[in-house]
Structure 1
Amino acid sequence: MGQKMLDILKDLPIEAQVMILSAVPVTELRATIPIAIALGMEPMTALFYALLGNFIPVIPLLLWLPLVINTLNKYDHSKRLVQWVLSRTRAKSAKLQKYEALGLMLIVSVPLPLTGIWSGSIAAFLFGIPFKMALPAITLGMIIAGILVTLASMGFYTVVELMGIPMAVVLIGALAIVYFIYKKR
């Protein structure tokens, strides 16, 4: 980011900073939650604002990406590149094609770089996953990723202290089920 953007961000309340950083494709919530917690924000508050900010671009991406791709396909200098990216991506993602919305949710839920809502929205377009299936899948994947990043940022003992042993066990069990489903696919 440019210096002007950093100056603007530092003048905003921390909640707005977290939302903006979560909406950006480079940081998304995977980097923003640990940053917010390190800056002193409560973990659940950081999760809330990061999820809110990360959700902001989802609907515009799902709705406008076809228009952008179609516009790029009209120009010779970008058409070949777009077609190459589309065909290569489709050929490399048989699992996503097979499992559609579930595969999309699993891809977005993995808290690693290049697997967030931006990538999930692009994948939904590439594989023709309809908006009514893509939106809930991406949203659920985003929530799972946010919880995983928050848990990793907080540490297990802090989670037990905050939620109590029964809730922590239920949450970890649910996350383990998602992990095994992902690994099995």
Structure 2
Amino acid sequence: MKKRYALAEDELQLFRQTVEDTKPLFQDRVKPSSSQRTQIALLEQKFIQKQVDANFYFSDAFQPLLQQESPLCYARSDVSSYEIKKLQRGDYTPELFLDLHGLNQTEAKKELGVLIAACRREHVHCACVMHGHGKHILKQQIPLWLAQHLDIRGLHQAPKKLGGSAALLILVELEY
């Protein structure tokens, strides 16, 4: 191999004099402790779980029977209409909030799947999905997607203080 930069003898001598009193550095690589390895494994598990949660398939072709009136509401056939009225009045306060502003449909579907899985995992009965007004794409699609999920008991347009027509409150089926 050809040397690209050859030093003159006097420059080499000057370099040797300059580094003459230096000592080699101590190798300071530290292996992670078992608790750090456990934390890393837990983070990896959470990441994998989030990917699994996001894999619920919401169909764009499925058209459930939703009331076309305003405010928007939906109840599964086995859910009392009284539950939806309680949701409408604001008797249920959402514990989790999902803001979908700026997301496209694919990203919004994944985030909805993650929200529903998180509600079930954390035993959250009511959540709020904020879709905004925008071009009304998400506003129209989100109720259709939520109505096809088996764990959604019902949904209703959020009260004014929680976003009004730009948000939905959802009731989630919990495991006991």
TM-score (structure 1 length as normaliser) = 0.25
Higher share of residues assigned helix: 1
Q: Greater strand share, 1 or 2?
A: 2
